[in-house]
Amino acid sequence: MSRHTFISAALAVTLVLTPLMLVFGEVIPKAVAREWATALILRLYPLIEIASKVLAPLSVSANALVGGALGSGGMLALRPSWLLDPSFGFELTGAAAVAQGGRLLLALVGPVVNLFPRSPIVPFFTIAAGVVASSPNADTFLLDAGSVTALVGGVGVRIGLRWRLTLRLEARSYVLFETDRYVRQEEFSAGLTVFF
């Protein structure tokens, strides 16, 4: 790849991802949180309770795995995708996060859109919804214990390597809905993607 092509690709990624991140990571989650928080909670509460009971056995093993692997804090996520087309697919997210404030288990699903899918540098954006189970420490007031609904918007870029591996860099904005408020969190992550 020539230097000119690389600079053009980097500029294109920046120009495309900035407005997408603003819209899907900031504007839409905030608007949804302001307008429909109560209605979403009331409708999704039975599903959240079922998911909480189903995911409860996984909580102990995930806490042990993530706490042991990441030490004092971090996030371990698996994001399998099913591509219907090179530019569109669905992505599942199963993740566990630990920090000084407590632990979170995430189960999310949503579409992923790949811009320029045949390029060695593929910008993408995703939105997702799902359930987050929180287990805060006794002295933490960020989230209550239990399950909450989550909406997520994110953007990123995959950089093609060798042997069907890609480097994945992304930023996501989470909105976690509680009955009387919402909490916003950000994720900045890097990882490897394997294509089968």
- Between these two residues, 131 and 21, which has the higher pLDDT value? 131
12 pLDDT higher than 80: no
Q: Return the amino acid letter for 1.
A: M
- Between these two residues, 141 and 162, which has the higher pLDDT value? 162
Q: What single DSSP character describes residue 138?
A: T
Determine the average pLDDT of the residues in 135-152.
70
pLDDT of residue 36: 78
pLDDT of residue 193: 77
CA gap 139, 142 in Å, rounded? 10
Determine the average pLDDT of the residues in 121-149.
77
DSSP-H helix ranges across the chain: 3-22, 28-70
pLDDT of residue 123: 92
Nearest to 151 by CA among 18, 19, 22, 28: 28
What is the chain's Cα-based Rg? 18
Greatest Cα pair distance in the chain: 55
Q: What single DSSP character describes residue 72?
A: T
Q: Give the CATH number, domain containing residue 56.
A: 2.40.160.20
10 pLDDT higher than 70: no
Nearest to 102 by CA among 48, 145, 64, 65: 145
User: pTM score, two decimals?
Assistant: 0.58
Question: Residues 60-108: pLDDT tens digits?
Answer: 566 555 555 445 567 788 888 888 888 898 998 888 887 766 778 888 9
CA gap 188, 3 in Å, rounded? 27
Question: Residues 145-162: pLDDT tens digits?
Answer: 677 888 899 999 988 887
Name the band, by pLDDT with cuts 50, 70 and 90, for residue 7. Answer: low
Domain count, the chain: 1
Question: Residues 157-190: pLDDT tens digits?
Answer: 988 887 778 888 888 888 888 777 777 888 888 8
Encoding tokens for residue 98?
Answer: 């630990």
CA gap 114, 33 in Å, rounded? 26
Nearest to 134 by CA among 91, 73, 178: 178
Domain hosting residue 73, numbered range: 3-194
For residues 107 and 148, the answer to whether their CB atoms sit within 8 Å is no
pLDDT of residue 73: 65
Q: What are the C-alpha distances in Å from 87 to residues 113, 154, 195?
A: 6, 16, 14
Question: Residues 14-70: pLDDT tens digits?
Answer: 677 777 777 777 777 778 777 877 777 777 778 777 877 777 776 656 655 555 544
